[in-house]
Amino acid sequence: MPWQSLRISLDASRAEAFSEALMSLGAISVSLEDADAGSLDETPIFGEPTEPDAGLWSHCIVTALLEPDQNPADIVASAAADAKLEKTPGWTLETIDDQDWVRLTQSQFDPIPISPRLWIVPTWHEAPNSEALNIRLDPGLAFGTGSHPTTRLCLRWLDENIKGGETVLDYGCGSGILAIAAAKLGAAKVWGIDIDPQAIQAAAYNADINAVSANFFTTDQAPATTAGIVMANILTNPLKALAPLLAKLTLPGGHLVMSGILESQAQSVMEIYSAWFEFEKPAEEEGWVRLHGIKK
């Protein structure tokens, strides 16, 4: 049975009321996303510990899933009236065939070779190389599958630099993929921090299925401790705001590895962190960069 996917662009002041109106009018589901995602104006969905809550994005895309027999024009007009909008917003419609969504999602995530010895293998696949260091992964609702260039850049750094016995902190750990990789590669003590409780749950589960020792904490529960290697694969604006904190978490002479940064943003990030770190030349992949600094 085909479904109807309705998309409407709205500013934050109207998006939530409009979404609630869509649900009350019979939409199967309604979601909000950042209309500026992937651009320099992208903003995080959570505020960082050093800043007030980020709140809703300035520009939102409201996506509603409708039954095949529902009239989208009528629903949009009624929702606009219920939400007390001055005028009915523009909208687009896409027909979505009924599918096995779990299998579809899984089919988009295959085993990923990071290096000859390190692979990311989703839990529903067999490992292509049983002799490799295979990280079994079920990302759940958390970021970090190994498919994004920023994650691969960070994983390669770990693969090339973990020699055994290191302490590693993954700040913004998401699925736990970087922390788990560090533990698999021989780090002695590994922990991750994330502002999203769902990420902590996913990371703890993934550490368990990989049989590695790693602890994960929300930002308000994290221990006040430092590490020889601090990883942070998040977004540029949070990284800028977190500079004093990440510097404090890194031991003198320790390593800070950051990604989630577009090539055009790298210089401005390094300038902020230069008070604490000396940086080598950025590593680049598909327009994204990884920064590596050593604490002064």
CB atoms within 10 A of CB 112: 19
CATH 3.30.70.120, the chain: domain bounds: 3-98
* pLDDT at residue number 98: 61
Distance from C-alpha of 70 to C-alpha of 74, rounded to nearest angstrom = 8
Q: Selecting from 3.30.70.120, 3.40.640.10, 3.30.1360.30, 3.20.20.140, what CATH number does the domain 3-98 have?
A: 3.30.70.120
* pLDDT at residue number 57: 61
263 backbone dihedrals φ, ψ, rounded to 5°? -55, -40
Can you name the CATH fold of 138-295? Answer: Rossmann fold (3.40.50)
* pLDDT at residue number 58: 64
Contact predicate 22/64, CB 8 Å: yes
Which neighbouring-strand residues pair with 60?
A: 10, 34
- CA 264 to chain centroid, in Å, comes to 20
CATH 3.40.50.150, the chain: domain bounds: 138-295
> Could you tell me the mean pLDDT of each successive run of 10 residues in the chain, 296 residues long?
84 84 88 65 50 56 88 93 90 76 56 88 80 79 68 95 97 94 96 92 92 94 93 92 96 97 94 97 94 97
Which neighbouring-strand residues pair with 295?
A: 277
- Annotate 67-136 with three-state secondary structure: CCCCCHHHHHHHHHHHCCCCCCCCCEEEEECCCCHHHHHHHCCCCEEEECCEEEEECCCCCCCCCCEEEE
* pLDDT at residue number 210: 94
* pLDDT at residue number 247: 97
**What residue type is 282 in one-letter code?**
P
Instruction: For the chain, count helices (H), then strands (E).
Output: 9, 15
Q: Which residue has the tokens 């992949």?
A: 285
